[in-house]
Chains A and B, each alone.
Chain A
Amino acid sequence: MRAVDALMEALKAEGVEVVFGLPGGANLPTYDAFYDAGIRHILVRHEAGGGHAAEGYAKATGKVGVAFGTSGPGATNLITPIADAMMDSVPVVFITGQVRTELIGTDGFQEADMLGMTLPIVKHSFMIQHPLEIPRAIHEAFHIARTGRPGPVLVDIPQDLSRADIPYEPVGDVRLPGYQPTVEGNQKQIRLAAKALANARRPVVYAGGGVVNAEASEELRAFALSDRFPVTCTLMGLGAFPAPHEQWLGMLGMHGTRTANYAMDEADLILAVGARFDDRITGKLSEFAPRAKFIHIDVDPAEISKNVPAHIPIVGDAKNVLARLTTEYRALGADKGRLEEWWTRIDGWRRQHPLRYDDTTGTEIKPQFAIQAVFEATGGDAIVTSDVGQHQMWAAQYYDFPAPRRWINSGGLGTMGFGVPAAMGAAVGVPDRTVVCIAGDGSVQMNAQELATCSQNGIPIKVVIINNGYLGMVRQWQELFWDKRYSHVDMGDFPDFVKLAEAYGATGLRLTDKTTLVEDLRAAIATEGPVVVDVRVSRESNVYPMISPGQAARDMVG
């Protein structure tokens, strides 16, 4: 059997249904195998689009995404999605072609040292050196990508090796002696954590994307509801706890709610689950949650005490640990009345500082209003992807996510151009749910080419561009911190997104009327096939509230 056919067999044995990619010289043999392998291959227009689509697929389904590219430029076009998947712990296997073995290291045509270039941004990588290694490398790659803390794995296959004729034997067990993620949390530590929680008077649960990755939302909810624990989520964790909910404080961090940030500030005990104390969460580290002790649950031991020392570290899978923590906590029969005072305080903040914006002036559509309109038009029930910028923060603030895997965005790397291809991948993975991309007028241009892929394949994503004509987030920082010197952030009225959509074979609409916005959006979303809606919003709105960079949570502004 050809090594590339063995590759297809290995993919099928992993349960792969769909992959995203674009062919070239070095992976011609692989593409020949795709011709009749019985695996759905979606031809993207740019490898980065394929990489982000694989991420969107993985985030929406919880399965491993797969992206293919050829050697050299095809491979380097995948660098951004690989880095993105690393930062946000997304399980994706990237399979790149490499030049023939005899050309490696000679600056051969379309040679790029993909292994070397990606070392710091992969969970692991394989450079195939013998064709017999291919099936096993694929299985190991999937195993590594999906287990423990998920992440990207690269498999680089030289062209000549993929043409070899090899005996194919299905691979049994994957054995990696240097890789054994700890799943079961330590029982003693869990008991200790339960006790600390039972004694806490001002506890907060701070949940991150790890809860979504571990499929631990149910366990998180059960734990939080085993008492009246207040819950906040990071940008990556939204949906891990159902919003709205009486114990839900909103998102925390730079553009989180005042309630969530103030609660962290005054907490005496913080239970962090699958979260990594990113600087966008902590603000000024030395003044972060100064009164709190920390319980930190994470499957990645390197995250524990990386930024904030944990008093009770628990290395393990969030699903496993939270379930046992709930059992331990219930057994203690803690006094529920002890949280009364804390809730009085929290409810005070809630009343005093709800998320708000000024919607009184004129007929302009405020961007926050546009997000609320998307929420209403979708019944709050869509999968929402976003690009990066102000619109992303507004989407996180004003669209309540009732379940995990509904909110898909680039948090760690902050990759503009993520939204459209991620929506495409999500829609392929979950075809029976509406998928909306809340896009920025700047970001959307970085991967708009995938609209052609959507049209060709009937992938019905609905792209709602929050069009302020600016690289808005940068403009906001220039306004606030650089004396309003707007340097290179005005993008004018280009391109004409309606015409662009039409050129790509999608439906294009421009919405400017606030009074009919919800109905118009509802109609747009009901339109068959891919749709692009250009919503013109007030140009200089800012995202508030905000912890200014390097400041403490209690000094939030706006």
Chain B
Amino acid sequence: MGEPGTKELISLDDLEAAGNLRSGRKHILSILVENKPGVLTRVAGLFARRAFNIDTLAVGPTDDPAISRITLTLDGAVHPIDQVTKQLHKLINVLKIRDLEPEATLARELALFKLAVDGSSRAELLQICDIFRAKVVDVAKRSVVVELTGTADKVEAFEQLVRPFGLIEMARTGEIAISRGRSET
């Protein structure tokens, strides 16, 4: 039979308190999977089912064409992450999972910014780009497109600075990551 055996109503606050306590730790999961249809759905579905919110997700090939890498970041998991990694391991198409230690990991993402700039503000923008090693990849009459790679923090800092110029659009890939040193990720 279904629960509960009590007639008491549960307040929305209690519900929230029961379900939404965030641990605060950011997780970068690097998941090697077989390159087959439906695998991403299975992986993503597991997170959805356990109420994990995926922050970013990047999927791409590895050095082996039969294997893809899913890099996935979770910001402050609600539940302990190890239940999900255990569940992920149970997916037949999942080969390997690593919960990467942020300190021992190189994580990068690519972001594109379309900014409204005219002649007067352009020089200032270029200066900021220079500091962040961002590249201008397209120039139109009243706008430019800038390309930036870096950690999520760096991308966010850049965004803060260029927003006042007039941010028309932004696209980010989500981080991909690899561990430092010789060991395999």
**A interface residues with partner B (beta carbon < 8 Å):** 115-116, 119-120, 123-124, 127, 129, 144, 176-179, 300-302, 306, 414, 473-474, 477, 480-482, 548-550
Name, among B34, B42, B49, B83, the residue most crowded by chain A CB atoms within 10 Å (CB to CB). Answer: B42
State whether B37 touches A477 (Cβ < 8 A).
no
Determine the distance from Cα of A123 to Cα of B91 in the docked complex, in whole angstroms: 8
Chain A residues in 8 Å Cβ range of B182 = none
Interface residues of B in 44-90 (CB under 8 A from A): 45, 49, 83, 86-87, 89-90
CB contact under 8 A between A302 and B89, given known A120-B45, A129-B37: yes
Give, as a whole number of angstroms, the nearest-CB distance from A249 to chain B: 25
Chain A residues in 8 Å Cβ range of B34 = 177-178
* Of B3, B5, B41, B95, the contact of A116 (CB 8 Å cutoff): B41
CB contact under 8 A between A302 and B1, given known A178-B34, A178-B95, A482-B7: no
Q: Is B92 on the interface with A (CB-CB < 8 A)?
A: yes
Give, as a whole number of angstroms, the nearest-CB distance from A155 to chain B: 13
Chain A residues in 8 Å Cβ range of B3 = 549
Task: Give the residue name and chain of the A residue nearest to B5 (CB).
Answer: A549
Determine the distance from Cα of A328 to Cα of B144 in the docked complex, in whole angstroms: 73
State whether A549 touches B6 (Cβ < 8 A).
yes
Q: Is B4 on the interface with A (CB-CB < 8 A)?
A: yes
State whether B94 touches A178 (Cβ < 8 A).
yes
Chain B residues in 8 Å Cβ range of A120 = 45, 49
Chain B residues in 8 Å Cβ range of A176 = 92
Q: Lowest 10 A-B CB distances belong to which pairs?
A: A549-B5, A302-B86, A481-B5, A179-B92, A124-B92, A178-B95, A178-B92, A119-B45, A178-B94, A178-B93
Determine the distance from Cα of A144 to Cα of B92 in the docked complex, in whole angstroms: 9
Q: Is B119 on the interface with A (CB-CB < 8 A)?
A: no
CB contact under 8 A between A550 and B5, given known A177-B34, A178-B92, A302-B83: yes
14 contacts between A and B (CB under 8 A): A115-B38, A116-B41, A123-B90, A124-B91, A124-B92, A176-B92, A178-B95, A302-B83, A302-B87, A306-B83, A477-B1, A481-B5, A481-B6, A550-B5
**B interface residues with partner A (beta carbon < 8 Å):** 1, 3-7, 33-34, 37-38, 41-42, 45, 49, 83, 86-87, 89-95
State whether B83 touches A178 (Cβ < 8 A).
no
Determine the distance from Cα of A387 to Cα of B1 in the docked complex, in whole angstroms: 13
Give, as a whole number of angstroms, the nearest-CB distance from B78 to chain A: 16
Chain A residues in 8 Å Cβ range of B5 = 477, 480-481, 548-550
* Of A116, A144, A474, A481, the contact of B7 (CB 8 Å cutoff): A481
Give, as a whole number of angstroms, the nearest-CB distance from B104 to chain A: 24
Determine the distance from Cα of A302 to Cα of B5 in the docked complex, in whole angstroms: 28
Task: Give the residue name and chain of the B residue nearest to A388 (CB).
Answer: B1
Chain A residues in 8 Å Cβ range of B94 = 178
Give, as a whole number of angstroms, the nearest-CB distance from A373 to chain B: 26
State whether A302 touches B38 (Cβ < 8 A).
no
Beyond known contacts A119-B42, A119-B45, A550-B4: 12 more, CB 8 A cutoff: A120-B45, A123-B90, A177-B34, A178-B33, A178-B92, A178-B95, A301-B89, A302-B87, A414-B1, A482-B7, A549-B4, A550-B6
Main secondary structure of the interface of B (DSSP, over half): mixed
Determine the distance from Cα of A243 to Cα of B82 in the docked complex, in whole angstroms: 38
Determine the distance from Cα of A144 to Cα of B41 in the docked complex, in whole angstroms: 20
Give, as a whole number of angstroms, the nearest-CB distance from A104 to chain B: 12
Determine the distance from Cα of A302 to Cα of B49 in the docked complex, in whole angstroms: 15
Determine the distance from Cα of A194 to Cα of B89 in the docked complex, in whole angstroms: 29
* Of A115, A177, A178, A549, the contact of B91 (CB 8 Å cutoff): A178
Determine the distance from Cα of A435 to Cα of B1 in the docked complex, in whole angstroms: 26
Determine the distance from Cα of A301 to Cα of B5 in the docked complex, in whole angstroms: 31
Chain A residues in 8 Å Cβ range of B95 = 177-178
Chain B residues in 8 Å Cβ range of A482 = 7
Determine the distance from Cα of A144 to Cα of B37 in the docked complex, in whole angstroms: 19
Determine the distance from Cα of A480 to Cα of B7 in the docked complex, in whole angstroms: 11
Determine the distance from Cα of A208 to Cα of B34 in the docked complex, in whole angstroms: 33
Give, as a whole number of angstroms, the nearest-CB distance from A146 to chain B: 14
CB contact under 8 A between A300 and B92, given known A548-B5, A549-B6, A550-B4: no
Determine the distance from Cα of A477 to Cα of B5 in the docked complex, in whole angstroms: 7
Give, as a whole number of angstroms, the nearest-CB distance from A116 to chain B: 7
State whether B41 touches A119 (Cβ < 8 A).
yes
State whether A127 touches B49 (Cβ < 8 A).
no
Chain B residues in 8 Å Cβ range of A481 = 5-7
Determine the distance from Cα of A549 to Cα of B7 in the docked complex, in whole angstroms: 12
Chain B residues in 8 Å Cβ range of A179 = 92
Task: Give the residue name and chain of the B residue nearest to A473 (CB).
Answer: B1
Chain A residues in 8 Å Cβ range of B37 = 127, 129
Task: Give the residue name and chain of the A residue nearest to B91 (CB).
Answer: A178
Chain B residues in 8 Å Cβ range of A123 = 90, 92
Determine the distance from Cα of A144 to Cα of B6 in the docked complex, in whole angstroms: 40
Chain A residues in 8 Å Cβ range of B92 = 123-124, 144, 176, 178-179
Task: Give the residue name and chain of the A residue nearest to B82 (CB).
Answer: A305
Task: Give the residue name and chain of the B residue nearest to A254 (CB).
Answer: B1
Give, as a whole number of angstroms, the nearest-CB distance from A473 to chain B: 6
Give, as a whole number of angstroms, the nearest-CB distance from B101 to chain A: 21
Task: Give the residue name and chain of the A residue nearest to B88 (CB).
Answer: A302
Determine the distance from Cα of A119 to Cα of B48 in the docked complex, in whole angstroms: 12
Determine the distance from Cα of A306 to Cα of B86 in the docked complex, in whole angstroms: 10
Determine the distance from Cα of A119 to Cα of B86 in the docked complex, in whole angstroms: 17
Chain B residues in 8 Å Cβ range of A119 = 41-42, 45
